[in-house]
Amino acid sequence: MRLYDVVRYPLDRFDSAGVLLEAVPPTTGATSVHVARLDAGGTIGRHRAVRRQVLGVVSGDVEVQTDDEPRVAAGPGTLVVWEPGELHQTWAVTDAVLVVVETSGDLDLADPFVERPR
């Protein structure tokens, strides 16, 4: 077993505010994983997804938006998937912990994952 310190840094790109990222070491493929801690009222600013992006809400309540569509509430246990090129933004309604996975790979969203209406 080996132990490492997690790399932590504030996210200020895309006019983001109140966001602390914790990086998980990259894999050998085109995938990255971060834990994002958002303060209530914070935002991961509006930007285009470069790769497929999955946002998993671990705790707290957030609102997410794609392009110019209305904001959608997302609470613990919610997965949000953005495809490459989608313009999107996330706002923290309460303090929130998110897992953010960006990948060029495919997602297997078959059973037991069920897409729900917005």
Instruction: Give per-residue pLDDT as tens, 77-96.
Output: 999 999 999 999 999 999 99
pLDDT at 27: 60
Q: What is the pLDDT of residue 110?
A: 81
Q: Cα separation of 38 and 16, whole Å?
A: 10
CA end-to-end span of the chain, whole Å?
A: 43
Give the SS3 label for residue 14: helix
Indicate whether 30 pLDDT > 70: yes
Give the residue with greater pLDDT, 25 vs 114.
114
pLDDT for 29 beyond 70: no
Q: Quick one: average pLDDT of 23-33?
A: 75
pTM tops 0.85: yes
Which DSSP helix (H) or strand (E) runs through 91?
A: strand 87-92
Q: Which residues contact 79 (CB under 8 A, 6 or more apart)?
A: 54, 55, 56, 57, 113
